[in-house]
Amino acid sequence: MNGILEKGAESVSGIVTAMRDTPLVLALVLMNVALLVFHWYYTSRVQDRIEKTAGQFFQNQVAQNQQWSVVLADQNKLAEKMMHCILPEDASKLLQIPHRSLQYAPPAPEKPQ
């Protein structure tokens, strides 16, 4: 077991000395880690924003659908009431009567005096 720990410590010390010899590699590794952390944070914030916006959109759709259902119910009630305003026999009588007010009558020519 001690042999494994010694080998691990040697490899870690080798990596650390290699990083000391090339500081640019160390800076690139740290920069990549920082970019990964930033990317994770940014995508989590964007995802939260999308979920919030989608939730509001669906809530607005539900509210709008409820308002339309009330309007349509009122319209249906009004249509039912209007269907009972004119009885069928009255409607047939109205259709059979010639309406003089609806017919076009040209004006009579004036007689000279």
Which pLDDT value is given to residue 60? 93
39 — pLDDT class (breaks 50, 70, 90)? very high
What confidence category does residue 40 fall into, taking pLDDT thresholds of 50, 70 and 90? very high
Q: What's the first-to-final CA gap in the chain, in angstroms?
A: 138
Residue-level pLDDT at 10? 86
Mean pLDDT of 2-15: 82
Output the pLDDT for position 48. Answer: 95
Q: Evaluate whether 19 touches 26 at the Cβ level (below 8 Å).
A: yes
Domain boundaries, the chain: 2-95
